[in-house]
Chains A and B, each alone.
Chain A
Amino acid sequence: MMANPADSTLSGSLADATEMALTEASIRLPSDVLAVLTRAAAAERDEIARSELATILENIALAEERQVPICQDTGVPVVYITLPPDIPLTPELFDGVREGVRRATAAVPLRPNVVDPITRRNTGDNTGVGMPAVHVTPGERLAVTVLPKGAGSENASRIGMLLPSQAGDIPKFVAETMLIAGGRPCPPVILGVGIGGTFDAVAALAKEALLLPVDTMDDYEQAICDAVNALGIGPMGLGGDTTALAVKVKRADCHTASLPVAVNVQCWACRRATVEVRR
């Protein structure tokens, strides 16, 4: 999508793009996610699982028809910005994203989910210290990608500092993550897997993996996905063939003595949208 900024300042156009991306992501699932859900619903053999998947597809259609969020947990805003070489990285850029989050929270509306971690006081507008989480990477065009992340699946995510000799245990670590999670993260899930890097980088990789298209998997991803589906947890933990819709892996090189692995669990409502800022 493209945003035609009403406000021509950098922060103004970023606010517009952020609001537009959050609105789109909250209401409509990306086509690749809808495709794998539809495919899973057709292939599922378990009776309860079939009705759960039918309910999910009906809900997706109703959200679009009523122009309301797909899920009441509209998540916390995770934002990725690509920045062309001619635009400097300035505080206005972050101000614009924050303003866009505030506007979307009031307009869509989104549930105010952001609280102080200790007092649990709600900020009321989905912004706060370190919120939204904004990640900036260099790119050719100025674009805002949002990945609103719900808590049910985020809470089931896991990080492991494996030994260099345990590379073969990575599929087991991922399957074990879903065994522990069961129905809590709203399966069928999409699993973002980070491999390598450092303790902090591997978690970022796992989250970025959720931005990749889910309608294709390489052999390694497919093998992990099959291992997860063999568990039979099924939609909502009620049993069935469909536990994971996709597994997506992102890698980085790491220390010779380390093997960091992270699994970022994403519920079936894998919401993301990108809006390019027209300049």
Chain B
Amino acid sequence: MIDLTTPLGDEVLDLRAGDRVTLTGTIYTARDEAHMRMMEEGIPFDPEGAVVYHCGPVVQEGRLVVAGPTTSARMNALTGFLIDAGVSAIIGKGGMGREVVEDLRGRAVYLAFTGGCAALAAARMTLRGVYFEDLGMAEAVWIIEADHLPLTVGIDAHGGDIFSAVHEKAKTQFYQRFNIHQDNVP
């Protein structure tokens, strides 16, 4: 287990897909609407070495109630500008597309957090503030202090991608079992 602390630096370049890590420090939530707002108006936090979390938490009276990850693939086309600005890690679930694997190369990593584990996430997080609150609870950018969040390196900075490796194996299994040509497999 490797312990990471924000802001992140070149240590992320040493990580390999499949490594188990914990993350401690400041993270910023962002979903579809927040990405679009940041592309228009700029990133409201210092992006250098920052960590973006694909998450729309439940917040009540200034407290995080639950805060698990959302499906990252929705942000495939909205991620390049964050990496260009210096963001060093993205936390989410389900993996991201080939364009993001290339965006991350030599610069940043994608960390997988177990989908649905929102109570566990909140138990290791403290709410510090918010940007773009007008976007609503799920879509605002929440500033969160994380304490040893347990994560798996899903995509590393060298093109290593567990999700696509698993998908390739699944494809092979699928066409063998159902006796069909690989060209017809999605």
Contact = CB atoms under 8 A, between A and B. Distances in A.
B115 A176 contact: no
B35 to A, nearest CB: 14
A159 interface: no
Contacts of A179: 167, 170-171, 174, 185-186
Given A69-B119, A183-B93, A238 B166 contact: yes
Interface residues of B, number: 49
Most buried by B among A66, A111, A112, A151: A111
Given A109-B60, A112-B137, A237-B95, A68 B116 contact: no
Nearest to B179: A172
Q: DSSP majority for the A interface?
A: loop
Interface string A51-82: 11001101110110010111111100000000
B178 A172 contact: yes
Contact of A239 (B65, B114, B162): B162
Nearest to A151: B71
A83 interface: no
Contact of B66 (A71, A184, A237): A71
Contact of B116 (A51, A232, A267): A267
B136 A112 contact: yes
Contact of B173 (A52, A111, A231, A236): A231
B114 A71 contact: no
B119 A186 contact: no
A272 to B, nearest CB: 15
A176 B178 CA distance: 10
Contacts of A231: 170, 173-174
A175 to B, nearest CB: 6
Interface in B32-86: 55-58, 60, 65-68, 70-71, 73
B115 to A, nearest CB: 4
Nearest to A235: B114
B67 A72 contact: yes
A175 B118 contact: no
Contact of B166 (A51, A52, A70, A239): A239
B117 A55 contact: yes
A208 to B, nearest CB: 22
A129 interface: no
Nearest to B170: A231
A59 B136 contact: no
A72 B55 contact: yes
Given A69-B66, A72-B58, A175-B177, A152 B71 contact: yes
Contacts of B57: 72, 111
A134 interface: no
Contacts of A73: 56, 68, 70, 116, 118
B101 interface: no
Given A51-B20, A109-B60, A227-B177, A70 B118 contact: yes
26 contacts: A48-B20, A55-B150, A62-B123, A63-B66, A66-B119, A70-B119, A71-B66, A71-B117, A71-B118, A73-B68, A152-B70, A152-B115, A172-B178, A172-B180, A175-B177, A184-B94, A186-B116, A232-B166, A232-B169, A233-B166, A235-B114, A236-B93, A237-B95, A238-B112, A267-B115, A267-B116
Interface of B: 18, 20, 55-58, 60, 65-68, 70-71, 73, 93-95, 112, 114-123, 136-138, 150, 152, 154, 162-163, 165-167, 169-171, 173-174, 177-178, 180, 185-186
Given A59-B116, A179-B186, 16 more contacts: A58-B120, A59-B114, A70-B66, A109-B60, A112-B136, A112-B137, A122-B136, A182-B95, A183-B93, A183-B95, A184-B71, A235-B114, A237-B94, A239-B166, A268-B116, A269-B116
